[in-house]
Amino acid sequence: MMTRQTFRNDCIILKTIEEIVPKEHLVRKLDAAIDLSFIEDKVENLYSSFGKPSVPPMVLFKLLIINYTFGINSMRKTCEECEVNMAYRWYLGISIDDKVPNYSTWSQNYIRRYRGSKIFKTIFKEILKQAKKFKMLNLKTIYGDGTHQKASANKNKYEDAEIEIEAKSYDEELIREINEERAKLGKKAYTSIEKVEKEFDEKTGEEIEVKQTKHIKVSKTDPESGYYHKGEHEKCFAYTHQAFSEGNGFVIGCGTNPGNMHDSVAFEKVFDEVIEEYNEEIENVCLDAGYNTPAICKKIKDSGKNALMPYSRQKGRKDKELMPKKEYEYNKELDCYVCPTGEILELKNIDKQGYKIYKSNQRNCESCPLRIKCTKSKNYQKVLTRHIWQDYKDEVNLKRYGELFKSEYPKRKETIERIFGDCKEQHSLRFTRVRGLEKNSNQALLIFSCHNLKKMSLWNWEKQKNKEKAKNIFPNALKVLKMIKILKSKKDKVIIFFKNFTLSTV
């Protein structure tokens, strides 16, 4: 006989929240993984010593952990869920009779207290500190990559802006080496590496230097985001997150920049932070082909680490009628290129970007049988360029054939690429609802903190579960192990112990 559904809304539950929340619920695992009371000590100086009692800071940050761990991505929705979800109330430490903080409470606390503070970075580092304490980090090889997060900005509402081309952090070192090489050629030294153009002042008639600029699209909604377009991706305003992970899938460093910044430019700052924190444990740095530039290869080499990167194809327009650059052999001792017919391309100059310029002899090239396949220049001269730090890149490219590269590089898809996929699908990394570089940077730190916390809590929970199983199977096994440790230092008594030991004691 079919039973029809009947609704009973008048029942009284005589249970505590502790009894209602399932023992295997994720909030229990999160709570057991780390004690978040350190947050209150870190933000104590941001609160007044008198006045109306505030909402406990730990409750506010636990609301954020619930928000990103369970992929809600809305503080209003999170507070609504906490009203009816007993598991969330248990994690927050809020009784059924107490009121959940209003959704605007967090935003006002951020504006008045947490904006500009380092509490988000502190939470991120503290979780990693606990993971390292539990020996969960495998730092022998680290994996780096960048991902984009769509900004909360209309892609059709923008204005064109002209900005100066910023100098890179390694420019001072580069210009010094360029001037050393130019001195050998008898060339004048550059005073700076900044890109400048020479113009005439209409009033004085004198020649002046003007910095080169570029035109970009600036969002009217979120000016700090960057206009992003790559391959088949939709054109939009976005933020880019540069992150590093270790072998077990924990994020150990991250940084946020506008979406129009290339990964190779955003790399340096995050890399320096990771190396400063875990320098001794790291041996290899694994990156994708987008990072295979002379400057990055040099930086990793100078840090004492092995760079593992695939080959980066030559950029720019390709003319299939002409011979590729690889057909010209580079002679390191003479610092020149040799064409297939044996003609030498001598070093003639070095530009401000650090590229050595090699040119052939016009007279020899004019009658060369391979000239049609070599150059289309009107003066019959072949020109090749080579970066002053190209040797570092060549060294990295040779490592592609080694066993270390073949064993470590495939793990990128299991570590950093999988982390980005999980965070986009489960922890709200695909889109952002906050605006501004600082807010999105803090949000990224919280998202990766929740990813690390979830992984650490699941591992700890499983480890504890296995210990309990072992106790049930061998109830006296731990006692025996402790006794062996005590007697280990006394070799003469160990023999007597095992002689008197019987199976009945197990």
Average of per-residue pLDDT across 184-202: 67
Report the C-alpha gap between 490 and 501 in whole angstroms: 16
Q: What are 357-406's pLDDT values in tens digits?
A: 999 998 888 888 888 888 888 888 999 999 999 999 999 999 999 999 99
Q: Is the pLDDT of residue 113 over 80?
A: yes
- Written as one string, the DSSP assignment of 187-231 is PPPPS----EEEEE-TTT--EEEEE-EEEEEEESS-TTSEEE--T
pLDDT at 55 over 50: yes
For residue 204, pLDDT over 60 is answered with no
Spatial CB neighbours of 221, under 8 Å, sequence gap ≥ 6: 152, 153, 154, 157, 237, 435
Residue 121 has pLDDT above 70, yes or no: yes
Residue pointed to by tokens 């507070």:
79
Contacts with 464 (C-beta within 8 Å, 6 or more apart), sequence order: 32
pLDDT at position 207 over 80: no
Q: What is the 3-state secondary structure (H, E, C) of 399-451?
A: HHHCHHHHHHHHHHHHCHHHHHHHHHHHCCCCECCCCCHHHHHHHHHHHHHHH
Residue 199 in this model has a pLDDT that exceeds 70: no
CA distance 211 to 337: 34
H-state helical runs in 344-399 = 362-366, 371-374, 390-398
Q: What is the pLDDT of residue 275?
A: 95
Question: In the chain, where are the structural domains located?
Answer: 17-117, 325-375, 475-506
Long-range CB contacts (within 8 A, 24+) of 185-190? 185/347, 185/348, 185/349, 185/350, 187/349, 187/350, 190/352
For the segment 208-235, the average pLDDT, to the nearest whole number, is 81
How many angstroms separate the CA atoms of 285 and 53, rounded? 48
The strand pairing partners of 213, in sequence order, are 164
- pLDDT at residue number 490: 57
Q: 195 near 211, Cβ under 8 Å? A: yes
- Most confident segment among 94-103, 189-198, 487-496: 94-103
Token pair, residue 187, equals: 């060339």
Q: pLDDT tier at 206 (50, 70, 90 boundaries)?
A: low
Higher pLDDT, 320 or 27: 27
- pLDDT tens per residue across span 404-450: 999 999 999 999 999 999 999 999 999 999 999 999 999 999 999 99
Each residue's pLDDT tens digit, 320-350: 778 888 889 999 999 999 999 899 999 999 9
pLDDT of residue 200: 46
- For residue 215, the model assigns a pLDDT of 83
Model confidence at 194: pLDDT above 70: no
pLDDT score recorded for residue 444? 96
Give yes or no for residue 503 having a pLDDT over 50. Answer: no
Q: Kind and range of the H or E element at 243?
A: strand 236-245
Query: 506 falls in which pLDDT band (50, 70, 90)?
Result: very low
Q: Which residues contact 63 (CB under 8 A, 6 or more apart)?
A: 75, 78, 79, 82, 92, 101, 106
Structure tokens at 428: 């709200």
- Mean pLDDT over residues 229-254, rounded? 90
Using the predicted structure, report yes or no on whether residue 498 has a pLDDT greater than 60: no
> What pLDDT is stored for residue 504 in this prediction?
43
Give the tokens for residue 92.
């927050």
> CB of 238 within 8 A of CB of 228?
yes
Residue 215, φ and ψ in degrees, nearest 5: -100, 130
Looking at residue 430, its amino acid is R
- The model's confidence at residue 192, banded by pLDDT at 50, 70 and 90, is low
CB 263 within 8 A of CB 145: yes
Whole-structure pTM value: 0.86
pLDDT at 491 over 60: no
Contact, 272 vs 175, CB < 8 A? Answer: no
List Cβ neighbours of 273 (8 Å cut-off, separation of 6 or more). 253, 255
Residues 6+ apart with CB under 8 A from 395: 297, 301
For all residues of the chain together, what is the average pLDDT? 86
Least confident window among 2-11, 17-26, 420-429: 2-11
Q: How confident is the model at residue 16 (pLDDT cuts 50, 70, 90)?
A: confident
> Is 10 buried (19+), middle (13-18) or exposed (0-12) by CB count in 10 A?
exposed
Half-sphere exposure (Cβ direction) of 53: Cα atoms closer than 13 Å? 2
Helix (H) or strand (E) holding 95: none
Q: Write the pLDDT tens digit of every residue in 263-311.
A: 888 899 999 999 999 999 999 999 999 899 999 999 999 999 999 999 8
The yes-or-no verdict on residue 104 having pLDDT over 50 is: yes
- Among 1-5, 49-53, 194-198, where is mean pLDDT lowest? 194-198
Rounded Cα distance, 498 and 488, in Å: 12
Which residue bears the tokens 């062996």?
A: 484
- Which pLDDT score is estimated for 14? 79
Side chain identity at residue 393, one-letter code:
K
What pLDDT does residue 195 have?
53
The answer, yes or no, to whether residue 209 has pLDDT greater than 60, is no
Q: Sorting pLDDT into bands at 50, 70 and 90, what band is 505?
A: very low
Helix (H) or strand (E) holding 2: none
**Tens of pLDDT, residues 311-320:** 877 665 566 7
- Bridge partners of 245, per DSSP, are 143, 251
Rounded CA gap, 337 and 356, in Å?
11
Residue 462 C-beta-side C-alpha neighbours within 13 Å: 6
